[in-house]
Amino acid sequence: MSRRIPASTIRRLSHYLRSLEDIEGEGRETVSSEELADRGQTTAAQVRKDLSHFGSFGKRGLGYRVDELRVRLLEILGVDRVWKVALIGAGRIGSALFEYPAFESRGYECVAIVDADPEKIGAMWGALRIRPPEEIESLIGSLGIELFILAVPAQAAQQITDRAVGAGIKGILNFAPIRLKVPSHVAVEDVNLVMQLEALSFAITQRG
């Protein structure tokens, strides 16, 4: 099924989930596709189309039940459970990510930190001891790690990825500025802040 769902749809589902949480926090029990559209800066038709990929929700004229749709979106996005995550790379970006509270609140639990720097290996970050790259396979296996947050230099990224894939990793949030080569069953999301700045300067330049 995932093959047919565009990335923009998935992103909107995440937005709808946040809106539903806000609306539930306001103590309300139903919401219209118009209001979800308004909060997500899209159209009511788009909301209905996005949700239609995953079954039938809501009643014409009555809208959606907030708790029901919220729980269903948690399931669809796979965040109705805990995901074990390893942080690979204990540099500046790794450090900022490690202390980022939003990850854990959504069920992404960092259970291991890996770095190649001998001066960092063995250091404690919170309750976790920084491990050397040689332990990647055993950490994945023994801790049930499914996701990597990869914050290492470009030249190290593919080699670490190959080892993680061999050991059964399922998804990678990639901060290294390269396109990782992975088999089709492994999901990759690239975070490339320079490219996002380029998208801004592109938009401004073409507009001007």
By CB under 8 A, name the binding residues for a second copy.
Answer: 1-2, 5, 7, 10-11, 13-15, 18, 39-41, 75-79, 83, 92-93, 95-97, 99-100, 102-103, 106, 108, 146-147, 170-173, 177, 179, 185, 187-189, 191-207
Query: Would you say 68 or 146 has its CB closer to a second copy?
Result: 146
Query: Would you say 59 or 159 has its CB closer to a second copy?
Result: 159
Query: Would you say 14 or 46 has its CB closer to a second copy?
Result: 14
Q: How far is CA 74 from CA 5, 71, 155, 171, in A?
A: 16, 5, 36, 18
Q: How far is the CB of 125 from a second copy (least distance, A)?
A: 13
Q: How far is the CB of 154 from a second copy (least distance, A)?
A: 10
Q: Which among 68, 62, 186 is positioned nearest to 51, based on CA atoms?
A: 68
Tokens of 162: 């190959």
Query: Would you say 123 or 199 has its CB closer to a second copy?
Result: 199
Please give the Cα distance from 68 to 57 (Å, whole number): 9
Q: How far is the CB of 208 from a second copy (least distance, A)?
A: 9
Q: How far is the CB of 131 from a second copy (least distance, A)?
A: 21
Query: What is the side-by-side strand order in the sheet with 83-88?
Result: 124-125, 128-131, 108-114, 83-88, 147-150, 171-174, 187-190
Query: What residues have CB less than 8 Å from 42, skipping those under 6 apart?
Result: 12
